[in-house]
Structure 1
Amino acid sequence: MADAHLTDVTGVILVGGRSSRMGRDKALLSLGGKPLVGRVIDAFRQVFARTILVGDREERFREFDLEIVPDIYPGSALGGLHTGLARAGTPYVFVSACDVPWPDPRVIERLCSLRQGHDVVVPRTDGGIDPLFAVYGTGCLPAMERMLREGNYRIYDFYPAVRTRHVAPEELEGLVMPGRTFVNVNTPEEFETIRHKEEGMAVKAVSFVAKSGTGKTTLLEQVIMELKERGYRIGVIKHDAHRFDIDHPGKDSHRLTAAGADTMLISSPEKLAVVKKHPASPPIEELLETYFGDVDLVLTEGFKKSGLPKIEVHRKERSATLLCRGEEHDPTLLAVASDEALELDVPVLDLNDPAQVAGFVEQTFLK
């Protein structure tokens, strides 16, 4: 980081959104003991001499002790960006939405370092461009005002009319953490996934997911043996979408359960087993906290819709597509264990080398 704060770039944080998909104000959601907007403010204070909030809800943001500027053209992110640029009093602004959980000051500083000779400096990501984590100069104001008067609110539509610098991913190499730097929050489900990444859980867990017939149980079995040889205590949860019985007719334990016991436990000198009835599947977090406090790591099979970090098992002959990098882009995906080479934004491990997969799990969760 530079020693001096930038004085010709103002940090602008947009706080005027209504958070309709979230159902509550995204800016004030607490993550790691701090509201999301507070995390952006902390990052900006490391880079800029001045930061302002743009939005029309001053009463909600007074606690942050920053200038709050109401929108000139309310109702859109473009309007908020225009207001920030018009009111900043500096040649440039760096704009961010208020719901960015991991704003990296190094990335902000790098983007700002490219501003000379350009009106826009915008990063290009795997998902496209990120117009709300970018640099804008006052040369953009005429084009912005024209669009706002015409009712066109797509920020990037004015880029061809000004000097725009697209920053390729390789230009941010070593700074950007995949799946984190350009993330924002729109729905409760996304926030829970992000919260899980940030705050973690008392019990460490990773889920192995795959399409049926891919061989995830075989790989999981081999990984368990590898980790046990390395001295770790390992727990396992298998997700079953159907009814199952682990007891057998004729056994005393089966008779007691069949008689109506809600919880039945069998104990011996070597092990115990619990059969517990419940009206609905308990959350995975509850299972981990209740039953696995004495292990180093829990490996689960399935739970592909959970917020757990995931390793997807892929076999070429089973399917040409992935669960977590196909129609859906699962931000909890950590790696793919595959029997073919793949170009992905996460590590690709050798499906036929369980020691390598176990080593990745060990380094990620146990070191």
Structure 2
Amino acid sequence: MSGEIPFSGLLLAGGRSRRMGTDKALLPVGETPLLDIMVDKMYRAGCDDVVVSRNESGYTQDIITDKGPLSGLHAGLPECQHSRVLVVPVDMPGLTVEAMRTLASASGSAYFEDCALPCALKRTTDLKDYIEHQLRSDNGRLSVYALLKYTRATALPRVDERTLYNTNTPEQWSTFWRSEETYHEGK
């Protein structure tokens, strides 16, 4: 990967999984937990290091809790080795290595059109201050879209729906895997 700008990975796996009813990060894909699958994909996409933001012992835990993905960014970004960071949610099992590489190679902050996560961010003091302010403010903007707007992120053309399919409920998880089987049978 000579000539390419090195980048870190930040896997957001700290949600409560209320709608799923069980920890999404530990959902099995075959014999392997989804968390491990996503970390592996991030390394295969070219991340030099991967930080896992997860409110469990042994992982980077939220400092300011119960504020959604911005809490994970706040805790995880300082742990990343590089200024360029690929941010990936754990609950997108269809996210491809190619899609991750596309984001990581974009100049500046980037995301796929109509989908705030995954995204690529440049870790700066200004970004850290923005996130800190939003988390500590009584009327802070906690959405990743607001953060992307603030960073003037580029919206890249959307990849296929299966790649960015978010699995938040048992029904979505089941639908995703049924569509995967149909997709692979058709190849």
TM-score under structure 2 length normalisation: 0.85
Considering Cα pairs closer than 8 Å and 6+ residues apart, tell me whether 1 or 2 has the greater RCO: 2
Alignment of 1:158-307 (within 5 A): 158-169=147-158, 176=159, 178-198=160-180, 200=181
Cα pair 1:53 1:69 within 8 Å, conserved: yes
Deviation readout 1:43-90 (Å, 9 max, x if unpaired): 1111111111112212xxx6xxxxx21112222111101222122132
Query: What corresponds to 1:85 in structure 2?
Result: 77
Query: What corresponds to 2:24 in structure 1?
Result: 26
Q: Does 1:99 align with 2:98?
A: no
Classify the secondary structure of the residue corresponding to 1:131.
strand
**How far apart, CA to CA, are the structure 2 residues paired with 1:6 and 1:53?**
23
**How far apart, CA to CA, are the structure 2 residues paired with 1:195 and 1:184?**
12
Higher helix share: 2
- Report the CA distance shift for 1:7/1:34 in structure 2 as closer, same or farther (over 3 A): farther
Query: What corresponds to 1:145 in structure 2?
Result: 132
Cα pair 1:40 1:101 within 8 Å, conserved: yes
1:155 deviation in Å? 1.8
- Report the CA distance shift for 1:49/1:6 in structure 2 as closer, same or farther (over 3 A): farther
Q: How many residues align?
A: 180
Cα pair 1:78 1:153 within 8 Å, conserved: yes
**How far apart, CA to CA, are the structure 2 residues paired with 1:51 and 1:71?**
16
Cα pair 1:104 1:181 within 8 Å, conserved: yes
Cα pair 1:39 1:103 within 8 Å, conserved: no
Question: What letter corresponds to residue 78 of structure 2 in structure 1?
Answer: A
1:7 deviation in Å? 6.8
**How far apart, CA to CA, are the structure 1 residues paired with 2:62 and 2:78?**
10
1:156 deviation in Å? 1.6
Question: What letter corresponds to residue 50 of structure 2 in structure 1?
Answer: T
**How well do the aligned residues superpose, as a CA RMSD in angstroms?**
2.3
The structure having more radius of gyration, on CA atoms, is 1
TM-score under structure 1 length normalisation: 0.45
1:132 deviation in Å? 2.1
Structure 1 residue runs of 5 or longer lacking an equivalent are 63-67, 170-175, 201-308, 310-333, 335-363
Classify the secondary structure of the residue corresponding to 1:41.
helix
Alignment of 1:307-326 (within 5 A): none
**How far apart, CA to CA, are the structure 1 residues paired with 2:97 and 2:3?**
11
